[in-house]
Amino acid sequence: STLTKIKRALTQKKSVVVDYLIGKNLKSDGHYGVVKRISDKSISLWDPSEGKTESIPKQSFIDSWKDTSKSGGIFSRWAMILS
C-alpha cells in the first residue's frame, strides 16, 4: 500500500488499519493502529490497545511500516482499508 492510497481512502471516509513497529525489534514490536490523519509532516494513528491517538513524524512511520509473519518473513507497507 502507499500513503497516497491511504489518504484517498480517508477522504472517502473509510477506515484504514496499518501494521507497523512500535520499537526496533522486528520479532516482537509489531503493532496495529488506525490511521486518523496524514499531513505533510506526520501520521496520526489511533492505538486501540492504549485508546489514544498519537502523531508520528511521517518519515519515522514509513521507516517502521513493516513487520514479520509467523513464518519469519518480513513484509512492509501492510494496510487494510475498510469501507
pTM score of the predicted model: 0.91
Inter-residue contact 30 to 18 (CB < 8 Å): no
pLDDT of residue 26: 87
For the stretch 40-53, pLDDT in tens is 999 999 999 889 99
